[in-house]
Structure 1
Amino acid sequence: MKGWRGLAAGAAALAVAVSGCGTSTNSGSGTETKEITVWLMDGSAPTTLTDALNKEFESANGIKVKYEVQKWTGIQEKLTTALASNTPPDVIELGNTQTASFADTNTLADLTADASQFNGGEWLGGLKDSLTLNGKQYGVPFYAANRTVIYRTDLLQAAGVAKPPASRAEWIDAINKLKAANASNPDFQALYLPGQSWYFLLSLIWDEGGDIAKQDGGKWTGTLDTPQAKAGFEAYKALYDASATKKAPADIDEAKPQQMEVFGTGNVGMMIGLPWELAGAVKAKADLKDKTSAFPIPSKKAGSTAPVFLGGSNLAIPAGSKNADAAKKYLALLSSKKYQDMLAEGGAVPGTSKDTSKLGSTPLGKAMAESSPNGKVTPVTPKWAAVEAGQNPLKDALTAYLTGAKTLDQATKDASDAVTKAMG
């Protein structure tokens, strides 16, 4: 996932560059490391954090930090080249949906035995899952963000919705009230919900007790055609049909057009989005700043939040690092409460701390903090990328079902078969 300042719905990847490497005077001789190289993604951590972190590490250890901020463009190819070289960096950032693929190539150090020094007991379950392959842990959670329901406080108040919905049924009721209160506006959408928002679909599937796939004996099989997963699709359709008279197209996702641009038109009551999307809408339309808030995606069970996809990044040490011990000290410092609180203050779910009190200083942060403990990730396997990056079967199934091109049974069976084929 992209950094929390620019988190987008899509696959994550490691930010690295071919040039630059950690140096040591020993090459295995036992003398002390003098420098480590740290590669983080553009937008992942504010400079106030990294400046303080690097200064404290250098002062405490007498080791220089060669800190390099990397760009997203071309990162997959750069990763492949850098980790295969004899001079990889010492600390790297990986998107949490791709950590498994790099761990599977034996280019990441196994940190299972070191988890305790990185506050392993404080990791959220979903974040721990994202870096665990075959029972071994190949990284440390860095940060995450999850979707919430971003809404116009003025419009909900005018529609007679006194408080944020606490169940899916209350949510649909609020949508209907918004529609009724704005019936004179033919362009109004109570909930902007494109037909292919598959990350949100996951919340509904998980909330119903379903999943994308299951693993048995090392083999992955699609499970989108189970009764529980079908119920998630039905819940999506109920929200889609209720959202507006003039619905969002069924064959697009939240990125085309950017839903924050649609939200900023003033004709939308709610959207299911990420922090950067609200920030973008407010930047384009400043008066939204005092008219917006957020609540967690409601569960079908009143008073509970639906499981959410935790998009974000992990930190790892390349297997070929010459300075692994120093790199572990760096990760231990970054994992401390001091720096995790700084991440939370910046608007991210901290990776190695369950204390999200700093995140709760804003309504959106509070909504994220409330729902993140119930977060999950996509199947942790190197083969998942073939599902997400290809002809995404979840998107295809949504469009076919919402438009009536396929029945629910046929759409979910075809999607499940496609997942099995891609991951088989």
Structure 2
Amino acid sequence: MKRALLLSLALTATASVSSSLAASTITIATVNNPDMVTMQKLTPEFNKKYPDITVKWVTLPENELRQKITLDVASGAGSFDVATVGAYEVPIWAKNGWLDPLTPMFAKNADIAKSYNVNDILAGVRGALTVNGNLYAVPFYAESSMTFYNKDLFKAAGLTMPTQPTWTQVQQFAAKIHNPSKGVYGICLRGLPGWGENMAVFGTVVNTFGGRWFDQNWQAQLNTPAWKNAMTFYVDTIKKYGPPGATGNGFTENLTLMSQGKCGMWVDATVAAGFLSDPSSSKITKSVGFANAPVGPGTARGNHWYWSWNLAIPKSTKQEDAAFKFITWATSQEYIALVAKEKGTWASVPPGTRTSTYNNANYKAAAGAFSSLVLGSINSADVNKATKDPVPYTGVQYVAIPEFQALGTQVGQYLAGAISGQTTVDQALKQAQDAAQKTAKDGGYQK
């Protein structure tokens, strides 16, 4: 009896040590937007499925997140086991050898692969995350851009929003709605500097005004009439019809303004459609309207940007298995259903990633006002044909070269300077042209 008790205690101790050794802790770096905040809140649901994995979060503003993750992943420091990365970074980082390929992991984990169903991810989204036949990230949500407007304010002003507005029409609408004395601004547009902030929206304006970053010989094109017309238009529109302090407003700040009924219009990411339709976070759920992103006087090309936020595993991780379990859980059909339950509406689930979401009757019923418009915008965004004239790069609202992260942010700062009145448009464009030309020359792109 005594020997049996000792043996039992020994086995229990061994099991305890084994369990302790098997436990894993993963650190996830993510952006502080509403979808990622929801993911953080649902961590206990992940722990129910994988109780041996502890999750730590590092949540940062978009610009700061990019800097920290890029530095960490490039140096192999290993601070993060899961990184939130954009469609821009994935192919560049994959080619640099900074990310673990996921295709072999799916092959090793047949049960996860079967329930996850990689082929359910929209083909275009999946393709943007695939390099040389290997998937390097999975999409948490994918987006394009669209126009949101307040139907009550439009009705009061006697205006009708077309399904496909032009930028000229948008500016005219903004002028008629603008009423700052009552806390209503004609339009909210991103002014916060950053290649993924003000330059995301402004980049599409440049496209539709007929502009491009570089010609086919990698000569910078920011001193052209197309760029001057686009920047003059953008700066004037924000100054005349936007809220004060616009250079401090990015996606999150404008989402708050729009959801509180303070913006007549807002041109931004399609992902906001779900937030503006959610009664728990929006006061305009019954008055929000949706239209395509505006086209300009130069071309209809490039008015819809393409973007996705994705979860990837840095090569430097020592917790590959645990990280893989997390990213497949957080981008699964199961997770999407959890978000619908948590939010109380299917309209708030992460959009743009899975065919099954758009075929789901519950989603169709909840998101019917915008789901087809969002899907159409994502499908029509063409990273290979986003400009009127031919270019040597891909990308709608960015140039898919490693140097663009710095260049785009630099030009975004010059744009913000023009918006705030610190510089003129001409001065901003001269600075931007010089920076772009130097980038192409120093990067060895010019022959």
Q: Is the 8 A contact 1:250 1:402 kept in 2?
A: no
Aligned residues: 379
Unaligned runs of 5+ in 2: 1-16, 108-112, 341-345, 382-395
Cα distance in 1 between the residues matched to 2:281 and 2:334: 34
Q: Comparing 255-264 with 104-113, which one deviates more in the overlay?
A: 255-264
Q: Is the 8 A contact 2:148 2:288 kept in 1?
A: yes
Structure showing the higher strand proportion among its residues: 1
User: What is the TM-score normalised by the length of structure 1?
Assistant: 0.63
Output the amino acid matched with 2:309. S
Q: Offset of 1:269 from its aligned partner?
A: 1.8
Unaligned runs of 5+ in 1: 1-23, 26-32
Task: Name the CA shift for 1:415/1:92 in 2 (closer, same or farther; >3 Å).
Answer: closer
Q: Offset of 1:380 from its aligned partner?
A: 3.5
Q: Is the 8 A contact 1:119 1:352 kept in 2?
A: no
2:163 is the alignment partner of 1:160: no
Determine the structure 2 residue equivalent to 1:199: 200
Cα distance in 1 between the residues matched to 2:214 and 2:413: 12
Cα distance in 2 between the residues matched to 1:329 and 1:156: 47
Output the amino acid matched with 2:163. A
Determine the structure 1 residue equivalent to 2:84: 93
> After superposition, what is the alpha-carbon deviation per residue over 1:54-107, rounded to whole angstroms, capped at 9, x for unaligned?
434x3xxxx722222223277655875688679766544335544466546634
2:378 is the alignment partner of 1:372: yes
Give runs of aligned pairs for residues 166-245 of structure 1, distance below 5 A: 166-169=163-166, 172-173=168-169, 175-176=171-172, 179-180=175-176, 189-193=185-189, 197-207=198-208, 211-213=212-214, 221=218, 224-225=221-222, 231=226, 234=229, 237-238=232-233, 241=236
Determine the structure 2 residue equivalent to 1:109: 100
Determine the structure 1 residue equivalent to 2:407: 387
Q: Is the 8 A contact 2:201 2:397 kept in 1?
A: no
Q: Is the 8 A contact 2:251 2:268 kept in 1?
A: no
- Report SS of the residue matched to 1:141: strand
- Report SS of the residue matched to 1:308: coil
2:124 is the alignment partner of 1:125: yes
Output the amino acid matched with 2:366. S
Task: Name the CA shift for 1:410/1:276 in 2 (closer, same or farther; >3 Å).
Answer: same
Q: Offset of 1:314 from its aligned partner?
A: 1.9
Output the amino acid matched with 1:69. W
Task: Name the CA shift for 1:412/1:334 in 2 (closer, same or farther; >3 Å).
Answer: closer
Determine the structure 1 residue equivalent to 2:59: 71
Output the amino acid matched with 1:373. N
Cα distance in 2 between the residues matched to 1:285 and 1:328: 31
Cα distance in 2 between the residues matched to 1:137 and 1:418: 33
- Report SS of the residue matched to 1:349: coil
Give runs of aligned pairs for residues 263-274 of structure 1, distance below 5 A: 268-274=263-269
Cα distance in 1 between the residues matched to 2:223 and 2:104: 37
- Report SS of the residue matched to 1:66: strand
Give runs of aligned pairs for residues 241-320 of structure 1, distance below 5 A: 241=236, 252=247, 254-255=249-250, 258-259=253-254, 268-274=263-269, 288-299=284-295, 306-310=303-307, 312-320=308-316
Q: Is the 8 A contact 1:151 1:292 kept in 2?
A: yes
- Report SS of the residue matched to 1:201: helix
Identity %: 17
Q: Is the 8 A contact 2:25 2:53 kept in 1?
A: yes
Structure showing the higher helix proportion among its residues: 2
Determine the structure 2 residue equivalent to 1:52: 45
2:22 is the alignment partner of 1:34: yes
> After superposition, what is the alpha-carbon deviation per residue over 1:186-210, rounded to whole angstroms, capped at 9, x for unaligned?
9865334466732112223445676
Q: Equivalent of 1:148, from 146, 149, 160?
A: 146
Cα distance in 2 between the residues matched to 1:231 and 1:124: 33
Q: Comparing 142-151 with 33-42, which one deviates more in the overlay?
A: 33-42
Output the amino acid matched with 2:378. S
Determine the structure 2 residue equivalent to 1:8: none
Cα RMSD (Å): 5.4
2:342 is the alignment partner of 1:336: no
Cα distance in 2 between the residues matched to 1:121 and 1:68: 29
Task: Name the CA shift for 1:407/1:120 in 2 (closer, same or farther; >3 Å).
Answer: farther
Q: Offset of 1:241 from its aligned partner?
A: 5.0
Output the amino acid matched with 2:399. P
- Report SS of the residue matched to 1:252: helix
Greater C-alpha Rg: 2
2:403 is the alignment partner of 1:406: no
Task: Name the CA shift for 1:181/1:400 in 2 (closer, same or farther; >3 Å).
Answer: closer
Q: Is the 8 A contact 1:91 1:316 kept in 2?
A: yes
- Report SS of the residue matched to 1:67: strand
Q: Is the 8 A contact 2:418 2:424 kept in 1?
A: no
